[in-house]
Structure 1
């Protein structure tokens, strides 16, 4: 299992619009092959910044499969216009081997 953490900076004043667009686009991500969870958090100290945390079965599901899929392209079209810069994305693997 891989956890993607994406830090999203949203253009000031567009936070509500982004949240609405994300809610509408969320099923495209949540139903993607290999996606196991989707969570969006708003930064309590900087309300124009969000943390998107997505669980994936394999890294390739996120880096190869989703971006090339129609759903991945639609998701990007619906949310990317709100970004104030490129998302900062990191991927983490579980070190808890008992969960495997």
Structure 2
């Protein structure tokens, strides 16, 4: 399992519009091949910053399959226009062996 964390800075004054667009497009992401969870958080101190956390079965599901899919392209069309700059995206793997199914 891989957890994607994307830090999103939204252009000033467009936060409500971004949240509405994300709600409308969330199912495109949630139903994607390999997607296991989707959470969006708003920074409590810097209100134009968000954390998008997405669980993926495999890194390739996020980096290859989703962007190439129709749903991935439609998701990007819904949200990309709100970003003040390029999102910072990182991928994390669990260090808990039980999560990875190891004995």
- Cα deviation, 1:46-97, whole Å, max 9, x if unaligned, reads 0000000000000000000000000000000000000000000000001111
Aligned residues: 100
Which residue matches 1:43? 43
Tell me by how many angstroms 1:10 deviates: 0.1
Tell me by how many angstroms 1:21 deviates: 0.1
| Alignment RMSD (CA, Å) | 1.1
Listed as ranges, the gaps of 5+ residues in structure 1 are: none
SS of equivalent residue, structure 2 residue 5: strand
How many Å separate the matches in 1 of 2:70 and 2:83?
Answer: 21
Determine which structure has the larger helix proportion and give its number. 1
Listed as ranges, the gaps of 5+ residues in structure 2 are: none
SS of equivalent residue, structure 1 residue 97: coil
Q: Give me the TM-score of the superposition, normalised by structure 1.
A: 0.98
- Cα deviation, 1:8-59, whole Å, max 9, x if unaligned, reads 0000000000000000000000000000000000000000000000000000
How many Å separate the matches in 2 of 1:78 and 1:93?
Answer: 28
Q: Which runs of 4+ in 1 moved over 4 A?
A: none
Q: Give me the TM-score of the superposition, normalised by structure 2.
A: 0.95
